């Protein structure tokens, strides 16, 4: 038996990626599987973005670039953050990373020392606690409930803070619940963070996917005091359907970006050079593609909510952002792993067990999939639940 590094034993593999890969493999074998697993838009990447990457390839953008990213892309991201989010960053405050995931991972490595505590509201995106552990920090999970729309309250945050607290992880719109903090709620959390002199990382990967007039306020825009304690993580995967491109970014005070750059220079070096040119086009060209995808998500959300709410024993809050429904299955008396296993076995439907997100009474369905699969898949879930 290989004696692996201790850190490996402290983390578990990503269930979202594992179940999504399983669904894809089943489809490849010709099995008629309905997949609600990965948060991966089914749309092709918009043509103009692909053309920009192809052109970059033809122009020989195939070599090493600066580890922190192509200067033109860092500039375009800084401009986007100023224009969209009212965050006063220069290109030097931005590092381009292999997806949003690496931006968060590098941040944890750059900021967290052994024993540092990182406050994470649950339900959470499953990689947050694992990243903290890999960086030898201690995740402090704060349970939220449907009563507060799965949002951490300022009181809960205050209570979780200890002298060891270093960082608070904020994710709005949220994966897996779809909850969106209102500007007033963001401001109230900012006050607590300032009072206790903490860092906050705001994962804004779903910022463009909002419904029913929900508003996204980037916490760093609340005041100069919170801005200097804020780190922004974002990427191109969800808004521009560029999941496989692996382009994300981190924006933060200069010292932190320099630290993540050192880490990146010894680990991955630059993000694929020609992929970065696709990302430049995504930011600089028309945003109609984002609006079109949002329109489709809006329609799918209505269909999936109507159909789920017609199933006895299942309930879910209305997601105000992202493309997930977070369904309470507790009335079925099953835990989330058993539910998802049996659902796949009996009806060939994949869903992600809430246990992975710190909420075993729930399951997550992604509706970033076409309408007919949604209709067929939810009918199968209804059949499954009625058979219990
Ligand atoms: N973030 C997406 C999800 O939650 C993609 C998979 C992953 O990176 O975890 O489904």
- Per-residue pLDDT 10s for the chain (388 aa) are 899 998 888 898 888 888 888 888 888 999 999 999 889 999 999 999 999 999 999 999 999 999 999 999 999 999 999 999 999 999 999 999 999 999 999 999 999 999 999 999 999 999 999 999 999 999 999 999 999 999 999 999 999 999 999 999 999 999 999 999 999 999 999 999 999 999 999 999 999 999 999 999 999 999 999 999 999 999 999 999 999 999 999 999 999 999 999 999 999 999 999 999 999 999 999 999 999 999 999 999 999 999 999 999 999 999 999 999 999 999 999 999 999 999 999 999 999 999 999 999 999 999 999 999 999 999 999 999 999 9
Q: How far is the CA of 49 from the centre of ligand 1 (A)?
A: 22
The answer to whether the CB of 102 is under 6 A from ligand 1 is: no
DSSP 46: P
CA 206 to chain centre: 7
The answer to whether the CB of 14 is under 6 A from ligand 1 is: yes
Inter-axis angle of helices 99-111 and 254-266, to 10 degrees?
110
The answer to whether the CB of 38 is under 6 A from ligand 1 is: yes
Name which of 72, 92, 59, 27 is nearest 257 in CA terms.
92
Q: How far is the CA of 24 from the centre of ligand 1 (A)?
A: 15
Supply the residue whose CA is at minimum distance from atom 5 of ligand 1.
39
What does the alpha-carbon distance between residue 96 and residue 99 come to, in Å, rounded to a whole number? 8
Q: How far is the CA of 195 from the centre of ligand 1 (A)?
A: 33
Q: Which residues contact 152 (CB under 8 A, 6 or more apart)?
A: 121, 142, 144, 189
The answer to whether the CB of 136 is under 6 A from ligand 1 is: no
Q: Which domains does the chain have, with CATH numbers?
A: 6-44+288-386 (3.90.1150.10), 63-284 (3.40.640.10)
Do the Cβ atoms of 326 and 318 come closer than 8 Å?
no
Task: Give the H or E element holding residue 293.
Answer: helix 288-309
The answer to whether the CB of 98 is under 6 A from ligand 1 is: no
Q: How far is the CA of 199 from the centre of ligand 1 (A)?
A: 24
Three-state DSSP at 160 gives: helix
The answer to whether the CB of 175 is under 6 A from ligand 1 is: yes
Q: How far is the CA of 363 from the centre of ligand 1 (A)?
A: 14
Name which of 45, 69, 60 is nearest 272 in CA terms.
69
The answer to whether the CB of 31 is under 6 A from ligand 1 is: no
User: What local confidence, expressed as pLDDT, does residue 203 receive?
Assistant: 98
What does the alpha-carbon distance between residue 93 and residue 256 come to, in Å, rounded to a whole number? 9
Q: How far is the CA of 35 from the centre of ligand 1 (A)?
A: 14
For the chain, what percentages of helix, strand and coil (3-state, to nearest 5) are there?
45, 15, 40
DSSP β-ladder status, 199-203 and 138-143: unpaired
Q: Atom of ligand 1 at shortest distance to CA of 127?
A: 9
The answer to whether the CB of 17 is under 6 A from ligand 1 is: yes
Q: How far is the CA of 37 from the centre of ligand 1 (A)?
A: 9
The answer to whether the CB of 16 is under 6 A from ligand 1 is: yes
The answer to whether the CB of 39 is under 6 A from ligand 1 is: yes
The answer to whether the CB of 174 is under 6 A from ligand 1 is: no
Q: What separation, in Å, do the N-terminal and C-terminal C-alpha atoms of the chain show?
A: 42
Q: Catalogue the long-range contacts made by 332-337 (C-beta closer than 8 Å, 24 or more residues apart).
A: 332/385, 332/388, 334/388, 335/360, 335/361, 336/360, 336/361, 336/362, 336/363
3-state SS of 311-344 is CCCCECCCCCECCEEEEECHHHCCCHHHHHHHHH
Name which of 112, 316, 142, 375 is nearest 231 in CA terms.
112
User: What local confidence, expressed as pLDDT, does residue 38 receive?
Assistant: 85
User: What local confidence, expressed as pLDDT, does residue 16 receive?
Assistant: 85
- CA dihedral of 141, 145, 146, 147, whole degrees rounded to 10: -140
């Amino acid at each position: 038996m290989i004696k692996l590094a201790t850190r490996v034993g402290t983390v578990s593999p990503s269930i979202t990626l594992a179940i999504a890969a399983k669904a894809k493999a089943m489809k490849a074998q010709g099995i008629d599987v309905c997949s609600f697993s990965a948060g991966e838009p089914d749309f092709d990447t918009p043509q103009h973005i692909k053309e920009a990457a192809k052109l970059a390839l033809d122009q020989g953008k195939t070599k090493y670039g600066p580890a922190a990213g192509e200067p033109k892309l860092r500039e375009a991201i800084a401009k986007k953050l100023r224009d969209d989010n009212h965050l006063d960053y220069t290109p030097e405050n931005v590092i381009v990373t292999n997806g949003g995931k690496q931006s968060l991972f590098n941040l944890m490595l750059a900021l967290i020392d052994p024993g540092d505590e990182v406050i994470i509201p649950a339900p959470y995106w499953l990689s947050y606690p694992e990243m903290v552990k890999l960086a030898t920090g201690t995740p402090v999970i704060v349970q939220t409930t449907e009563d507060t729309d799965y949002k951490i309250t300022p009181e809960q945050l205050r209570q979780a803070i200890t002298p060891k607290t270093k960082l608070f992880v904020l994710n709005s719109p949220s994966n897996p619940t779809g909850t969106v903090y209102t500007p007033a709620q963001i401001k109230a959390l900012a006050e607590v963070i300032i009072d206790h002199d903490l860092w906050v990382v705001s994962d804004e990967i779903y910022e463009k996917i909002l419904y029913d007039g929900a508003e996204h306020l980037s916490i760093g825009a609340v005041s100069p005091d919170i801005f200097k304690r804020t780190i922004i993580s974002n990427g191109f995967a969800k808004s521009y359907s560029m999941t496989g491109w692996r382009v994300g970014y981190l924006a933060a005070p200069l010292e932190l970006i320099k630290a993540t750059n050192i880490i990146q220079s010894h680990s991955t070096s630059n993000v694929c050079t020609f992929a970065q040119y696709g990302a430049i086009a995504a930011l600089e060209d028309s945003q109609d593609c984002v609006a079109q995808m949002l329109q489709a998500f809006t329609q799918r959300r209505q269909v999936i909510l109507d159909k789920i709410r017609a199933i006895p024993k299942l309930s879910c809050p209305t997601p105000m952002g992202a493309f997930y429904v977070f369904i309470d299955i507790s009335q079925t008396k099953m835990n989330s792993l058993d539910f998802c296993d049996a659902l796949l076995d009996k009806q060939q439907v994949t869903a992600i067990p809430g246990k992975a997100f710190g909420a075993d009474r729930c399951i997550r369905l992604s509706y970033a999939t076409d309408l007919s699969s949604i209709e067929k898949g939810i009918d199968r879930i209804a059949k499954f639940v009625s058979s219990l």
